[in-house]
Amino acid sequence: PDEEPALHVDAIDVIYGRAVSALRSVSLTVPHGGVVALLGANGAGKTTLLRAVSGTLRLHRGAVTAGRIRYGATELDGRDPVAAVRAGVVQVPEGRRVFAGLTVDENLRTGGLGLGRRAPALVREARDRVFALFPRLAERTHQAAGLLSGGEQQMLAIGRALMAAPRLLLLDEPSLGLAPQMVARIADVVKEINSQGTAVLLVEQNAGMALSLADSAYVLEVGEIRLSGAADELARTDAVRRLYLGET
Ligand code: ATP
């Protein structure tokens, strides 16, 4: 019945520990098959929002204390990461956290664990899709992930998430610390993933890149949504041009 799920974050509050307020009444929608950018300065709460959706907030001593998060018919607030992955929602954490001591292939297989027990063929299929997207990884299947370049590690982190065949991918600052050429490559990859039917919620400091990819965008400021709208319209507003696109 639920062929075209969308993500609905509805007026959530998030706190860390007992009292640190990180998000206040934040609402956001990612339509089925869409690309949505989430912009904001350091500490605005972008990562916190992704954690709330992917069920990883509790690992950081955080909690959703008000509001709701739904993906299609599935309630995601208060659930764990396994529930989110089962629903088709997978997060790529910031800082391209790969298992440095494991090979490329072993890293990818950790992303497909949920698939593996049921059908090895599914894992092979998922891996073939990842290698088609990232030929560099296919050439390095037996290399330790820690020996890859920064850009290759980011690709591996994305590839590992794709092993779970997400319908919604949560991407946390994929361009961080990468050379411009690699940033352009990551942008192409996001387009390609989206064109294959996966929706993307993209957290970025690189507002120019994010707005060029996204259909719509939200700007977070100290835990609250300040601006939202169509990406091309937001890119033309004075506030976004000055604060996030570095124009004067
Ligand atoms: P960045 O780009 O630096 O990751 P961000 O917009 O993703 O910034 P968050 O990491 O979500 O911001 O942080 C939002 C607020 O929550 C900040 O004030 C941060 O200090 C606080 N915070 C984040 N994680 C924790 C935690 N585990 N415990 C306590 N406070 C936290």
Can you tell me the ipTM of this complex?
0.94
Closest ligand 1 atom, CA of 220?
6
Q: And the tokens for 75?
A: 């309630």
Average pLDDT taken over every residue of the chain: 90
Q: Is 43 in the pocket of ligand 1 (CB under 6 A)?
A: yes
Percent residues over pLDDT 90 in the chain:
70
Nearest residue (CA) to ligand 1, atom 29: 16
Ligand 1 atom 2, closest CA: 42
Cβ contacts of residue 189 below 8 Å, gap of 6+? 133, 134, 155, 158
Is the CB of 18 within 6 Å of ligand 1? no
Whether residue 61 contacts residue 18, with contact meaning beta carbons closer than 8 Å, is answered with no
Helix (H) or strand (E) holding 36: strand 35-39
Q: Is residue 214 within 8 Å of 230, Cβ to Cβ?
A: no
Sheet strand arrangement including 62-71: 20-30, 7-16, 62-71, 74-75
Residue 189 CA, distance from chain mean position: 13
Q: Is 46 in the pocket of ligand 1 (CB under 6 A)?
A: yes
List 62's β-bridge partners, or say none: 16
Nearest CA to ligand 1 atom 10: 47
Is any atom of ligand 1 closer than 6 Å to the C-beta of 45?
A: yes
CA–centroid distance, residue 72 to ligand 1 (Å): 27
**pLDDT tens digits, 147-160:** 999 999 999 999 99
161-203 pLDDT, tens digit per residue, is: 999 989 999 999 999 888 888 899 999 999 999 999 999 999 9
Q: 43 C-alpha to center of ligand 1: Å?
A: 5
* Ligand 1 close to Cβ of residue 52 (< 6 A): no
Q: Does the pLDDT at position 111 exceed 90?
A: no
195 lines ligand 1 (CB under 6 A): no
Ligand 1 pocket, residue 20 CB under 6 Å? yes
Instruction: Report pTM.
Output: 0.93
Distance 51 CA to ligand 1 centre (A): 10
Residue 215 has pLDDT above 90, yes or no: yes
**Measured in angstroms, how far is the CA atom of residue 45 from the centroid of ligand 1?**
6
Ligand 1 atom nearest to CA at 94: 4
* pLDDT score of 77: 86
Return the number of other C-beta atoms located less than 10 Å from residue 39's C-beta.
Answer: 28
User: How far is ligand 1, taken at its centre, from the CA of residue 241, in Å?
Assistant: 24
- What's the gap between Cα 23 and its chain centre? 18
